[in-house]
């Protein structure tokens, strides 16, 4: 097995990846707060971690992946200030918090399915793990690193950091944090840096549970520590999240977790950079209007083209959203699909590929293992197809199929569908576009494509089980 290298925020360097219990890898990703649709910047993050998971599996590892779902406790400020995000939406939409969380979680999962992000081993919802959080808070209190006040249970940040006062990930001192941002300071907190593990004395909060300290609800940070430990153990191989999590959320996770367990919480912290909007600023919900996957589909772009678009930049490099970039990604998707549809049956059934494909296998693996260099891996896959066309030797199907375990484009399904039908390539392209539109619940576009297919002489029958039959009408 070739070594796999990844950038570890803890060390600020690219390190050789060495899991605790090979070939098993524990992978925890900070999940969504389900109070609004997840925008394209959010989806880019989960594509990054899907590429990481697939690359590890390509290397022969077995990945146990867990994603949390924050459905309580995430305030409108990461510093425990403001209103609970889900309750804010619930009040605005005149719904219960559970209705809001269920709706936006389902929408998020549908978007992930449309861009072929593999589901995790566990989706762990915060509201279903309150007992685990209470148990962890009790351990932190017993370790002397938390205190109870009338307004809540708080983690003692200054006591934990001691004289050094520098964060493990951000390497930012508490004094620098003071200068960089305004910190809310409750009257009964020892320090403005102390964060809530359990919130009390909030009678109007709609979601509350009994605890040893009184009726209340968990703070945002404790959720990830408790749920990751439950499913992956007290030390995780890889913890992922956005770069914005480094100075607060992930620093706090480390502090509270290691105070309770007295051993390392995470071995490799891996963070993704932002997707920037067309105006050049970071895409965020706080900005008001934000681009969604449905907006990409409305442009006539397949959701999987957004997957290719995100593969075109390294996970820790900013990526600028652009119409031209999305259309170029669509062209690459069409290129792969056209090859899959046109490959001869003999090339599919061959047990071994042409000798020239070996070089591409080596280059593809080297790209993945070099700090998850997806742009280079994508370029290798495109070059392989181009070389097959140039040589007139299509015996690369096993190699391309192996690549697609990471690319995630469903090329085997494309090839099988083409082999089992006499549908022309241009008709199949319309069918693929309609399938993608239905997956993304863009029913208006799906109806338009249906009308186009019917105008070209095809009957379209949508079955109750979700399948669709397309048949040429007989005269």
User: Rounded to two decimals, what is the model's pTM?
Assistant: 0.86
Rounded to whole angstroms, the Cα distance separating 103 from 98 reads: 8
Residues in the chain, overall count: 475
pLDDT of 179 reads 44
Which residue from 85, 431, 72 is spatially nearest to 227, judged by alpha carbons? 72
pLDDT of 287 reads 61
**Which tokens go with 100?**
């809001």
The CA distances from residue 388 to 335, 347, 354, 378, in Å, are 13, 11, 9, 16
Rounded to whole angstroms, the Cα distance separating 17 from 411 reads: 30
pLDDT of 344 reads 78
Q: What is the pLDDT along the chain (475 residues), one digit of tens a residue?
A: 899 999 999 999 999 999 999 999 999 999 999 999 999 999 999 999 999 999 999 999 999 999 999 998 665 444 555 678 888 888 899 999 899 999 999 999 999 999 999 999 999 999 999 999 999 999 999 999 999 999 999 999 999 988 766 788 988 888 776 544 444 557 899 988 899 999 999 888 889 999 999 999 999 999 999 999 999 999 999 999 999 999 999 999 999 999 999 999 999 999 999 999 877 677 776 666 789 999 999 999 999 999 999 999 999 999 999 999 999 999 999 999 999 988 877 778 888 999 999 999 999 999 999 999 999 999 999 999 999 999 999 999 999 999 999 999 999 998 888 777 667 778 878 888 888 888 778 888 989 999 998 888 888 888 665 667 777 775 4
pLDDT of 156 reads 96
pLDDT of 182 reads 43
pLDDT of 422 reads 62
pLDDT of 76 reads 47
pLDDT of 421 reads 67
The CA distances from residue 226 to 31, 168, 286, in Å, are 14, 20, 28
Residues 6+ apart with CB under 8 A from 261: 139, 229, 234, 235
pLDDT of 458 reads 83
What the chain holds in terms of domains, given with CATH numbers, is: 17-272 (3.40.50.620), 331-472 (1.20.120)
pLDDT of 465 reads 54
Distance from chain centroid for Cα 347 = 35
Rounded to whole angstroms, the Cα distance separating 201 from 186 reads: 12
pLDDT of 272 reads 97
């Amino acid at each position: 097995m070739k070594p796999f290298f990844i950038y570890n925020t803890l060390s600020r360097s690219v390190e050789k990846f060495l899991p605790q219990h090979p070939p098993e890898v524990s992978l925890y990703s900070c999940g969504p707060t389900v109070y609004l649709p997840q925008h394209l910047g959010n989806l880019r993050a989960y594509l990054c971690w899907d590429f990481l998971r697939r690359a590890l599996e390509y290397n022969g590892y077995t990945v146990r992946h867990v994603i949390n779902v924050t459905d309580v406790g995430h305030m409108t400020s990461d510093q425990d200030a403001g209103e609970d995000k889900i309750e804010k939406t619930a009040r605005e939409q005149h719904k219960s918090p559970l209705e809001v969380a269920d709706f936006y979680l389902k929408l998020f999962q549908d978007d992930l399915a449309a861009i072929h992000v593999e589901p995790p081993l566990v989706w762990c919802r915060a509201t279903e793990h309150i007992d685990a959080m209470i148990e962890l808070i009790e351990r932190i209190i017993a370790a002397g690193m938390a205190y109870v006040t009338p307004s809540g249970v708080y983690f003692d940040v200054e006591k934990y950091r001691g004289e050094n006062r520098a964060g493990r990930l951000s390497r930012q001192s508490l004094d620098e944090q003071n200068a960089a941002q305004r910190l809310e300071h409750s009257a009964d907190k020892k320090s403005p840096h102390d964060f809530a593990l359990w919130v009390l004395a909030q009678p109007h909060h709609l979601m509350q549970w009994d605890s040893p300290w009184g009726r209340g609800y968990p703070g945002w940070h404790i959720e990830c520590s408790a749920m990751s430990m439950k499913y992956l153990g007290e030390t995780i191989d890889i913890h992922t999240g956005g770069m914005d999590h480094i100075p607060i959320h992930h620093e706090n996770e480390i502090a509270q977790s290691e105070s309770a367990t007295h051993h390392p919480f995470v071995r490799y912290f891996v963070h993704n950079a932002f997707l920037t909007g067309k105006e050049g600023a970071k895409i965020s919900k706080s900005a008001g209007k934000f681009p969604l996957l449905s907006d990409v589909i409305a442009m006539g772009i397949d959701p999987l083209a957004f997957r290719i678009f995100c593969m075109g930049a390294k996970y820790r490099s900013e990526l600028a959203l652009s119409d031209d970039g999305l259309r170029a990604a669509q062209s690459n998707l069409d290129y792969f699909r056209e090859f899959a549809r046109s490959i001869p049956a003999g090339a599919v059934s061959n047990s071994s590929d042409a000798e020239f494909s070996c070089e591409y296998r080596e280059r593809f693996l080297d790209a993945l293992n070099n700090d998850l260099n997806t742009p280079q891996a994508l370029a290798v896959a495109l070059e392989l197809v181009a070389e097959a066309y140039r040589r007139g030797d299509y015996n690369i199907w096993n190699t391309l199929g192996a690549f697609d375990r990471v690319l995630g484009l469903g090329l085997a399904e494309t090839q099988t569908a083409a082999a089992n039908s006499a549908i022309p390539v241009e008709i199949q392209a319309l069918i693929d576009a309609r399938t993608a539109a239905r997956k993304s619940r863009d029913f208006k576009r799906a109806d338009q494509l249906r009308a186009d297919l019917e105008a070209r002489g095809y009957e379209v029958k949508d079955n109750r089980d979700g399948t669709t039959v397309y048949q040429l009408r007989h005269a």
